A and B are shown apart, each in its own frame.
Chain A
Amino acid sequence: MKNTGTIALKEIKSYLTSPMAYIVTGIFLVLTGTFFTTYLAGTAYSDTSIRGFVESSQLLLLLFAAILTMRLIAEERKLGTWELLLTAPVRDTEVVLGKFLGSLAVLVTMLVLTLYYPILLEGLGDPDWGPIGTSYLGLFLLGSTALAVGIFASSLTSNQIVAAVIAGGILAALWLVGMAGGTAPEALGEVLSYLSLSYHFNDFIRGVVDTRAIIYYLSVTALFLYLAIRSLETSRWG
């Protein structure tokens, strides 16, 4: 566990010293802020909710998660530091979890910075904090799932761009499978919808916490972290 912390801390330091995390966070705040405001303007400021922010940030989170995680393992392979990490007395699981926690810190920072929106609403009107809280829970779960997918993609290659494209592909597929679910015959459609990242999100916006949704996001996260660990193990047999 100590090793996980060491690696997470190293990743956080690395995010702080390179421009990527700042750029991603900056763009995220500008875009979500714009959608937050235009939504409020659209309702003539009658609906004091953060819906505009939440709906726009779902896809942005997927995109930015792919970008934030693309270097985590791919770059180590390229630099050769991979050899240092995999020959240190550290479990492969600890390496992957450390990387995941490091990127999770950036996600949490991004989300904490957007708390500005609901606080603004509180100052201007009387927002309903229930859906706001569940929306944040949903964004956190969705974001961490996307990070896990990104880490898995990054473990497959030494090329960061390729890693980002693979992560983007997997995330887009998981997102869009819900739409396919809508048109497919009943039973199959339900299965497809259930597998989809988007299907489970709507409850959170409405202020409903469905344990199935939480379990879904946590298990997809766990699945991709597990696949990343297996991918490391496999590389030793290469």
Chain B
Amino acid sequence: MIRVQDLTKYYGERLAVDNISFNVEKGEIVGFLGPNAAGKTTTMRIITGFLMPTRGDVWVADCNMMTNSLDGRRFIGYLPEAIPLYTDMTTRDYLEFSAKLRGLAKQRIKTRIDDVVDICRLEEYIDVILGKLSKGFRQRVGIAQAIIHEPEVLILDEPTIGIDPIQVTMTRNLIKELGKECTVLLSTHILPEVSMICERVIIIHEGRIVAEDRIENLSSILSGSKRILLEIQGPPKKIARRLEQIEGVQQVRVEDSNYIVEYPPEQDPRPKIMEAIVQGGWSLLSMGSVEMSLEDIFLELTTEEEEEEEVDE
């Protein structure tokens, strides 16, 4: 449904997207994961026809977006990162305008506005001026606008950023629901979000794809080791040495009286750690799991890649 090939984009001298290629098949929900300034927005803007690439090609529903952008755009519903709202319009006027721009017939516009208002739960705000809506509702209007023409491809740039947790959950469920009808490519920098919504993930870092796989496969790579954070009172060097000796512990990092312990998921050393602490006569103040942060993952993925490259040479 979406085919990106050898895509490169320079902004002046700055390289934003570096020769990336990927496909999104019909009906898939694909997450585009990366930290800020990784090139996610640029890539999405090129796919939607808002920007032209420096090199490379993009096809959406078999339309080449470089040469036949106008036809390609008909298949796409797009929610940009900055929600594109005319602040002086009411929700209804805005949806009507969006529908007209997408070439919907007059009769269909009416029914589609009712549909998307229902889907995005905007009933109470249908005649409110958009400038007066809160961020969460703006987001919903933005999604309503993107789906009004029942697009086959939905492109959502950071759809859950800056809204409260309840609305985030609602938006995620909405996206999953929409994903049953159409192909979805969404970007995010929130790691758990990807595993919640997406079937497949493309990880992008500094303009390059560093990993691309189904969630199941990737999560095993990503959670190659688990981490716990321990706060222990006692002599640090002695404790660290003792912890390292425990079976299953891969690595111990010490920061003041905090210890970060890494271990493989299939071999849980926590009971043994407890025993060791009690035996040593130290006191355990707290124990908790540490989520791998996005930065850690990139570090892991990018350094692994470099190691491989070195081996190749």
Contacts and interface: CB of A to CB of B under 8 A. Distances in A.
Interface in B69-86: 70-71, 73-74, 76, 78, 80, 82-86
A112 interface: no
20 contacts: A2-B103, A6-B97, A6-B100, A6-B101, A14-B86, A79-B87, A80-B80, A80-B82, A80-B84, A80-B85, A81-B84, A82-B84, A85-B101, A87-B49, A87-B76, A89-B70, A90-B101, A91-B70, A236-B50, A236-B52
Contacts of B52: 236-237
Nearest to A17: B88
A236 B84 contact: no
Nearest to B80: A83
Contacts of A88: 73, 98, 101-102
Interface in B204-233: none
Interface of B: 11, 45, 48-52, 70-71, 73-74, 76, 78, 80, 82-88, 93, 97-98, 100-103, 145
Interface string A106-147: 000000000000000000000000000000000000000000
A18 interface: yes
Closest 5 CB pairs of A and B: A80-B82, A84-B84, A88-B101, A81-B84, A83-B80
Nearest to A80: B82
A190 B29 CA distance: 66
B73 A89 contact: yes
A42 interface: no
Interface string A214-234: 000000000000000000000
Contacts, number: 68
Nearest to A95: B101
A6 to B, nearest CB: 4
A185 interface: no
A236 B51 contact: yes
- Sort chain A's interface into a size bin: 20 to 34
Interface in A2-17: 2-3, 6-7, 10, 13-14, 17
B51 A14 contact: no
Pick the most buried of B11, B82, B101: most chain A CB atoms within 10 A of its CB: B101
Given A83-B82, A86-B49, A89-B102, 14 more contacts: A6-B100, A13-B93, A14-B88, A18-B88, A80-B85, A82-B84, A83-B50, A83-B84, A86-B50, A87-B80, A89-B73, A89-B101, A236-B50, A237-B51
Contacts of A86: 49-50
A18 B129 CA distance: 13
Interface string A47-88: 000000000000000000000000000000001111111111
A101 to B, nearest CB: 15
Nearest to B83: A80
Contacts of A2: 103
Interface in A136-177: none
B139 to A, nearest CB: 13
Contacts of A81: 84-86
Contacts of B51: 236-238
A88 B103 CA distance: 9
Nearest to A91: B70
A81 B76 CA distance: 16
A10 B86 CA distance: 10
Contacts of A236: 50-52
A75 to B, nearest CB: 9
A83 B259 CA distance: 48
A172 B81 CA distance: 39
A79 B70 contact: no
A73 to B, nearest CB: 13
Nearest to B72: A89
A79 B86 contact: yes
